[in-house]
Structure 1
Amino acid sequence: MTPPKLIILDRDGVINHDSDAFIKSPDEWHVIPGSAQAIARLNQAGYTVVVATNQSGVSRKLFSMSTLNAIHQKMHATVEQVGGNIDAVFFCPHSADDNCDCRKPKPGMLNEIARRYNVSLKGVHCVGDSLRDLQSGFVVGCLPNLVLTGKGQGTMDKGGLPPGSQIHSDLAAMVDALLSAEASANE
């Protein structure tokens, strides 16, 4: 079975600059140069782009659900301005203490994506800047891709990446590699 043309991206550190103090408002959300255009290129190549993000700031009361929605509206608008589209945003609002199944590195959020799109995630690329992003994808059969933006360099330096992890300087470089490999396979 051919894997679906679906790709799963983490948000903070992949699409936008991350902050150890959390992204708590739309004003604090700043796109990483080239990431919105990379999403548009994925769309043009037939990919459905989905975001899967831990957002424990909600349970920590650092920001409300309406603020999180406003941050995501800014993200959608930024990507749409360059001709791209994020089909859906899946998020875990819980803290680590809640011991939920949806908080990465647990696979619950990715299993929900598989159910929603009625697909197997085997062979689907997942992109993140932290080990937990890659682990949650790996256990459901995704192909793990680490970007060195956000916390990615520190994640790489610590080691212990899932087998087969690909490393890219940023989302734009990951998309370059993916689309180049597809073009070569289709020649």
Structure 2
Amino acid sequence: MNLVILDRDGVINFDSDNYIKTVDEWQPIPGSIEAIAELSKAGFEICVATNQSGLARGYFTPKTLTAMHTKMTSLVTEAGGNISLIEHCPHGPDDGCNCRKPLPGMIESILSKYPEINPESVYVVGDSLRDLQAGIAAGCKALLVKTGKGERTLEKGGLPEGTVVCEDLSAAVNTITG
């Protein structure tokens, strides 16, 4: 069994510096839903690990977050794919949790559900340095997409050694399955 862990905002859907606060604001990046379906059809388990500090900030409710995730998983299902698991961190940056990326708590939680999978074979796909750092800290491989905040992340430099860089999630899927 193979596993890929995706960040949400900026990888699957368009991101906003003002947060994605409603189901209507949650809009997939062109090609991302089809890319997830392709990965799923290729035999990969797909999980999502996403910081959602908008909950702690009061920008949206848990019910709204669930509705956003229902929209996302429904679109993937309609395209012939499957998202096996979604983990989210509801905390703010100063809450002292161990799940908020760049800490590896969410990634480790996902990996614990797949004890037969070697973390070294798992790609963590993100658009920010903290996504990559969380994946590396959990023993996974890092893949940066240039969508979302990816270009900004690339310009800042300091990527973990061995980070693979791809234009978008479709290109990342080609790299992973290639």
> Scaled by the length of structure 1, what TM-score is found?
0.92
The Cα of 1:117 is off from its aligned counterpart by 2.0
CA deviations over 1:61-120 (Å, ceiling 9, x no partner): 100100100000011111112111111100000001101000000011111111122244
CA deviations over 1:146-173 (Å, ceiling 9, x no partner): 0000000000000000010000000000
Correspondence for 1:166: 164
CA deviations over 1:34-61 (Å, ceiling 9, x no partner): 1111111111110000000000000101
Correspondence for 2:121: 123
Q: Distance in 2 between matches of 1:106 and 1:80?
A: 30
Q: Distance in 2 between matches of 1:102 and 1:126?
A: 15
Alignment of 1:6 with 2:3, yes or no, is yes
Alignment of 1:175 with 2:176, yes or no, is no
Q: Which AA in structure 2 matches 1:31?
A: P
Alignment of 1:47 with 2:47, yes or no, is no
Q: Which AA in structure 2 matches 1:64?
A: T
Given candidates 73, 96, 100, the residue that maps to 2:97 is 100
Q: Distance in 2 between matches of 1:116 and 1:176?
A: 26
Q: Distance in 2 between matches of 1:8 and 1:178?
A: 12
Q: Distance in 2 between matches of 1:52 and 1:120?
A: 18
- Structure 1's consecutive aligned runs of 4 or more residues displaced over 4 angstroms after TM superposition are none
Q: Distance in 2 between matches of 1:29 and 1:117?
A: 29
Q: Distance in 2 between matches of 1:79 and 1:24?
A: 21
Given candidates 108, 112, 119, the residue that maps to 1:111 is 108
Q: Which AA in structure 1 matches 2:88?
A: F
Over alpha carbons, which structure has the higher Rg?
1
Given candidates 137, 150, 153, the residue that maps to 2:151 is 153
Q: Distance in 2 between matches of 1:68 and 1:45?
A: 28
Q: Which AA in structure 2 matches 1:61?
A: G
What CA RMSD, in Å, does the superposition of the two structures yield over aligned residues? 0.9
The size of the alignment, in residue pairs, is: 177
> Scaled by the length of structure 2, what TM-score is found?
0.97
Structure 1 stretch displaced more, 108-117 or 26-35: 108-117
Correspondence for 1:33: 30
1:136-147 equivalences under 5 Å are 136-147=134-145
User: SS in structure 1 opposite 2:113?
Assistant: helix
Q: 2:2 touches 2:121 (CA, 8 Å); kept in 1?
A: no
Once the two structures are aligned, what percentage of the paired residues are identical? 53
- List runs of 5+ in structure 1 lacking aligned partners: 181-187
Given candidates 68, 72, 88, the residue that maps to 1:71 is 68
